[in-house]
Chain A
Amino acid sequence: MYKAKDGSELFIIDGHVHLWDASPENIRNIHGKQFIDCFYGYHASLSPPEQLWTPEKFAKYGAEQMVKDLFIDGPDDMAIFQPTYLKDFYKTGFNTLEQNAILKKRYPDRFILNGAFDPRDGEGGLEALEAQAETYKLKGVKLYTAEWKGDSRGYKLSDPAAYKYFEKCEKLGIKNIHVHKGPTIIPLDRDAFDVADIDHCATDFPNLNFIVEHCGLPRLDDFCWIAVQEANVYGGLAVVLPFIHSRPGYFAKVISELLFWLGEDRILFGSDYGIWTPQWLVERFMNFELPEEVMKETGKELTMTAKRKILGENAARLYDVDIASQRAKLSRVEMAAA
């Protein structure tokens, strides 16, 4: 929960968090080492200096630290786990649904579990998805369309194989499809410039929501153009928001573009924890005001209502969270714990 200066309370849903293990013991090969080094590069280059972690802590911060950073020191009321398997790089995987589920069991009201699939896994993958959905009551998945697999250099969401999975998702009640369309962090090439596939699947599956993580940056131009035409396309702010510290003027321009093209109902906050912690991100975002000349350019304002939606209400709508009752539930649990 975040208490605004005017005394009002904001319910915060962090749309993008991870609990990973990139400790030396879990690293399988050079790729695993380079992968966490790259994540650390994001952390180091976009965090305020007082928020910097050591590489050792960054590699494995653990569940206790995470709960503290998100819910105790941080303002999050709930957080959505987005898995990243990477079993080729890490012995037990980098950040898997199975690992996340352990924490979800301890804090059932705090976490939302998302799964994952890869259309290139064919029939077997469909069965695995069904089992996953049943075990964990999934409402969302996270996809990496540009992940290299064998000889394949990625897939498109508009591929017939992907459509089979979307049909399955509809049947299983998985309605939120988070797609990584952002900076290069996985062996990839195609998605480095392509968000066009979203256009097709968003039209063909109007009952599914497509949340484009990192707002398709570095393809903001294509992304906005698609999003404006498809009402079920959303933008996730992970990686975009930290620019609020290092390049606030730039962040102002990007968020105003998003407000202009997508509107305040289709933007979702995500810290991308542990790359960044929600405390400073939310604090800065709440105190952030669009410069006059940027407002003039798009005619859009970043109002308190918009902030409230971006930080929690939009995600609540997608994940069927009733904020009032969830808030009551969380305060009961806290009182019981105290």
Chain B
Amino acid sequence: MNARHDAEGHEAAGNEATGNEARIAEVRAALDRVTDPELDEGVVDLGFITAITVTAPDEVDVAFRLPTYWCAANFSYLMASDMREAVLGLSWVRRAVIHLDDHMYVEAINEGIAQGKDFTEVFPAGDGQDLSAIRRNFALKSFERRQEMLLRHLLAAGHPPETIAAISLTALEALKLDAEGTVLRTRYLERRHWPQDVMTVAEGVSPFAFVTRDGERLMPETLGIYLRHIRRIGLNAEFNGALCRGLLASRYPGTAPAATPDFIGAG
């Protein structure tokens, strides 16, 4: 009898532990989709998330840190706000507490996020610059960067500019690609499909897979020039990524520097 109780007790505790781990995994998966807008990389991969705690059956606490004490308040706020939204998107979460550590505006940011305030309420300034403008700007940059990587991959794989310019969204989705190409396509389509308000063209969603940030289709004759133009976006993001990884590793020694993601390749 006693043994059975014990076993049941263990089993119950085991279930709880498994349940907890499963919830944490769900939170992590939700946070995986949150990116640092300047780096266009996930906050989890970057090593920003330090702890995920399920504090009650419907409550989650996420702690995060940044590479410097000075990281721009607006980007910090944007990430914290995106994290909160991502976690609250899970069906079982009613309350999500996001904690930023070691930052110049740690109190203002944590309080503002907890109260669901808008960035401009927390940091009032005359220029009216709000987060939606930054979001849009960086969503477009991310779109172009991911597009450039995929375009170069397709060109290198032997797809001629004419085919690339003419390919439809559905055909791209069905195109047979190698492992690297598949990753690049997934990343690109994430931005191609989202956020809709950014990529919406006057006449609706373009049927072509590759369009400019204004929704115009690419022309095979000018593909080279177009690539030259958007190339600098990737150089920015790469600069930020390398710098931020180095700074984070230097600021928190003992924590292994997060690896550069495969899609960037060796420096």
Q: Residues of A at under 8 Å CB distance from B? A: 31, 34-35, 37-38, 40-42, 44-46, 151-153, 183-190, 192-193, 217-221, 224, 243, 246-250, 253-254, 257, 297-298
B123 touches A153 (CB 8 A): yes
A-B contact pairs, 13 of them (CB 8 A): A34-B69, A41-B67, A41-B246, A41-B251, A44-B246, A151-B125, A192-B38, A218-B38, A218-B243, A220-B235, A221-B233, A257-B231, A257-B235
Residues of B within 8 A of A248 (CB): 267
Q: Which residue of the partner chain, among A34, A185, A193, contacts B137 with CB atoms under 8 Å?
A: A193
A34 touches B70 (CB 8 A): yes
How far, in angstroms, from A217 to B73 measured CA to CA in the complex?
18
How far, in angstroms, from A220 to B127 measured CA to CA in the complex?
23
> In the complex, what's the smallest C-beta–C-beta distance from B261 to chain A, in angstroms?
14
State whether the Cβ of B71 lies closer than 8 Å to any Cβ in chain A.
Answer: yes
Residues of A within 8 A of B249 (CB): 45
A45 touches B250 (CB 8 A): yes
Residues of A within 8 A of B246 (CB): 41-42, 44-46, 246
Main secondary structure of the interface of A (DSSP, over half): helix
Residues of A within 8 A of B208 (CB): none
Residues of A within 8 A of B70 (CB): 34-35, 38, 184-188
Residues of A within 8 A of B74 (CB): 189, 192
State whether the Cβ of B48 lies closer than 8 Å to any Cβ in chain A.
Answer: no
A221 touches B247 (CB 8 A): no
State whether the Cβ of B55 lies closer than 8 Å to any Cβ in chain A.
Answer: no
Please provide the 9 A-B residue pairs with the shortest distance between their CB atoms, ordered closest to farther: A45-B246, A247-B267, A34-B69, A221-B232, A41-B250, A189-B74, A41-B247, A44-B250, A153-B125
State whether the Cβ of B166 lies closer than 8 Å to any Cβ in chain A.
Answer: no
Q: In the complex, which residue of chain A has the Cβ closest to the Cβ of B129?
A: A190
> In the complex, what's the smallest C-beta–C-beta distance from B42 to chain A, in angstroms?
18
How far, in angstroms, from A219 to B73 measured CA to CA in the complex?
17
> In the complex, what's the smallest C-beta–C-beta distance from B209 to chain A, in angstroms?
23
Q: In the complex, which residue of chain B has the Cβ closest to the Cβ of A42?
A: B247
Known contacts A189-B72, A218-B240, A250-B235; 15 further A-B pairs (Cβ under 8 A): A37-B251, A40-B250, A41-B251, A45-B247, A153-B127, A185-B68, A187-B70, A190-B127, A192-B72, A193-B38, A193-B138, A224-B232, A246-B267, A247-B267, A250-B239
How far, in angstroms, from A258 to B247 measured CA to CA in the complex?
25
Q: In the complex, which residue of chain B has the Cβ closest to the Cβ of A223?
A: B232
State whether the Cβ of B238 lies closer than 8 Å to any Cβ in chain A.
Answer: yes
> In the complex, what's the smallest C-beta–C-beta distance from B197 to chain A, in angstroms?
19
Q: In the complex, which residue of chain B has the Cβ closest to the Cβ of A239?
A: B243
Residues of B within 8 A of A45 (CB): 243, 245-247, 249-250
How far, in angstroms, from A94 to B69 measured CA to CA in the complex?
17
How far, in angstroms, from A221 to B126 measured CA to CA in the complex?
27
Residues of B within 8 A of A218 (CB): 38, 236-237, 239-240, 243
Residues of A within 8 A of B124 (CB): 151
Residues of A within 8 A of B134 (CB): 193
A151-B125, A250-B239, A254-B239 known; A184 and B232 CB under 8 Å? no
Q: In the complex, which residue of chain B has the Cβ closest to the Cβ of A146?
A: B72
State whether the Cβ of B266 lies closer than 8 Å to any Cβ in chain A.
Answer: yes
Residues of B within 8 A of A217 (CB): 236, 239
How far, in angstroms, from A192 to B70 measured CA to CA in the complex?
11
Residues of A within 8 A of B141 (CB): 221
How far, in angstroms, from A309 to B233 measured CA to CA in the complex?
27
